[in-house]
Amino acid sequence: VLRFGPMQGIPIRILRVLLLATVLISPAARSDEAIVVPQPLTVSFVDRATATAQDAIDQAMDLLGIRYRRGGSSPEAGFDCSGFVSHVFREGLGLVLPRSSREMSKTGEVVHRDELKPGDLVFFNTMRNAFSHVGIYLGDNQFVHAPRSGGRVRIEDLRDGYWMKRFNGARRVNP
């Protein structure tokens, strides 16, 4: 206990705590610098949609060469077509799509072939069933997909006769 001066009768411990608090607080209390809060970025809806489509495409391109595996849905195990697309949209956009290509064909908005944009889902009849195969449109008539047993994730051209005959339609899925 302090026995003299203006703080007389206050225990030394409390004085030490007050002194420490003053030292810790004083730089912030005496700072003459203004705190600058940056303005939030204003990004148009179109720019956001383009950025997210590009995120999905970047994710897909990182997976080129991964082997096909029926029922596969990860880079480690391999991919089938819908597992590949599901993985890309989940990891690239945080968007959970249905597991099968047929169910995916029911999501989003219908897109005509001449209105395709990068990131759109493209569907094909490859097993004598509509919407039995799915890929991701890249632009310039190119799409990326996990093709078939023995194959690897790769890029194909929609103008190729095989894909032209089997094209079933496209969907645009926005997050």
Q: Which of 145, 156, 158, 172 is catalytic?
A: 145
Instruction: Let me know if 133 is a catalytic residue.
Output: yes
Beta bridge partners of 157: 142
Q: Which of 56, 66, 81, 85 is catalytic?
A: 81
Task: Kindly report the number of other CB atoms within 10 A of residue 38's CB atom.
Answer: 5
Q: Which of 87, 133, 171, 172 is catalytic?
A: 133
Give the containing element (helix H, strand E) for 14: helix 12-30
Instruction: Let me know if 87 is a catalytic residue.
Output: no
CA atoms of 110 and 122, how far apart (whole Å): 10
Instruction: Let me know if 138 is a catalytic residue.
Output: no
Q: Which DSSP string corresponds to 110-156?
A: EE-GGG--TT-EEEE--SSSTT-EEEEEEETTEEEE--STT-BSEEE
DSSP state of 7: T
Q: What are phi and psi of 142, to 5 degrees?
A: -105, 145
Q: Which residues are identified as catalytic?
A: 81, 133, 145
